[in-house]
Amino acid sequence: MDSILVTGNGPLNGQIPIAGAKNACLTLMPATLLSEEPLTLTNAPRLSDIATMTALLQSLGAEVTSMQRGKVLAMSSHSISNHKADYDIVRKMRASILVLGPMLAREGHAVVSLPGGCAIGARPVDLHLKAFEAMGADLDLRDGYVHATAKGGLKGGIVDFPIVSVGATENALMAATLAKGTTVIRNAAREPEIVDLAICLRRMGAQIEGEGTSEITVQGVDRLGGATHPVVADRIELGTYMLAPAICGGEVELLGGRIDLVGAFCEKLDAAGIEVTETEAGLKVARRNGRIKAVDVATEPFPGFPTDLQAQMMALLCTADGVSVLEEKIFENRFMHAPELQRMGARIEVHGGTAKVTGVDRLKGAPVMATDLRASVSLILAGLAAEGETVVNRVYHLDRGYEKVEQKLSAVGARIERVSGQ
């Protein structure tokens, strides 16, 4: 099993290109099931999760071809030959549930295994099912599978989510494009990935209004066509690499970065003493003079502070001047990186969904273990600023969400390498 070896090496300087968003691409790919015509995605990230979604779509009869070294995905679902998404594939990734809406909308029936994924708390699919029921679907959960039918097709309805859910909003939005009549999605998620999906679906011929707000209205159409669509920049990769010069010093330009994708995150960086400026090519990040200042952070749905940047922000605050409080409001059990940071000398106290971080002058390198995707990269960031050598084990989590992390960080001066397991 591979490990990442990191040695603290001072300030970082240079440029890092930002890839297309994993979470956006995983949502856009199932949209091919809505149409008989080709859907081509450009700026696609090259990640293991994308390979998993590719395998799932192919198992359903879709054709998926990777071109230009994985940056372009050409897909075609002129016929769906299999209506069952098997456990063996779906268990690897929670985003697999996103094939349910498109298949149900186009074919009128689907059987999808309940999904798996990384262990950062319960993320049940009940909100997805609530949306389909509001559009007239009949649902039966048995033997670990969702059996969904919509005789005569889905019908427009009012989908009123009790809490905000990105995945459920995406699934409902795709299903509604082919439903008969008008669907209104209330308390909808507002994330950039939702907006990106709506733009792609409109290119395919969907009639959608209100994406990026809490209420989305969809007028169903009889069929959707093909399209070519560029995947939006990955705001989580962007935020992660913005923290590299913040924690190490130096100045790094993030190519393709956009301030509107990380507004709340930038506010916290500013409060901590990090300067973010827009350039023609993206965003430039540099630490102001002196030590990082402590700040309090509470994760929230977009446009609030992203839960997927909480672990990385904790790594930064481990060396801040003062006491910071991080409150995790999205997922339970998402402070599993805290004990690993403590092995590096961090002072962290976790009480339920709150972590109190008292900054130390310097972290120390140590062998640590990645517990999930974002935790893995938080440990790498900590290692960049630590004294000595840090070995991050179980980095298969990392490959699910970060493309060529060693090469990107090495290019700006980091001492980092992948060590192959025996």
Residues contacting 22, CB < 8 A, separation 6+: 45, 47, 49, 50, 234, 236, 237, 400, 401
Catalytic annotation present for 248: no
User: How far apart (Å, rounded) are the C-alpha atoms in residues 125 and 91?
Assistant: 13
- Binding site annotation covers 321? no
Helices and strands in the chain, H and E counts:
13, 24
- Binding site annotation covers 126? yes
| Residue 13: strand pairing partners | 251
- Binding site annotation covers 120? no
Burial readout 287-308 (b: 16 or more C-beta within 10 A, e: otherwise): beeeebbbbebbbebbbbbbbb
Radius of gyration of the chain (CA): 22
Report residue 316: phi and psi, to 5°. -65, -45
Q: Is 53 helix (H, G, I), strand (E, B) or coil?
A: helix
Torsion of CA 152, 158, 162, 165, to 10 degrees: 70
Positive or negative, the CA dihedral 68, 199, 310, 276 is positive
- Asked if residue 235 lies in contact with residue 192, where contact means CB atoms within 8 angstroms, the answer is yes
- Binding site annotation covers 125? yes
User: Pairing between strand 297-298 and 282-287?
Assistant: unpaired
- Binding site annotation covers 270? no
User: How far apart (Å, rounded) are the C-alpha atoms in residues 43 and 33?
Assistant: 20
User: How far apart (Å, rounded) are the C-alpha atoms in residues 220 and 251?
Assistant: 48
- Binding site annotation covers 377? no
Per annotation, catalytic residue among 118, 248, 266, 318: 118
- Binding site annotation covers 330? yes
Only one residue has tokens 């301030």, namely 259
- Size (the chain), residues: 422
Residues at the binding site for phosphoenolpyruvate are: 22-23
Residues at the binding site are: 22-23, 94, 123-127, 308, 330
Residues at the binding site for UDP-N-acetyl-alpha-D-glucosamine are: 94, 123-127, 308, 330
Q: What residues are annotated to the active site? A: 118
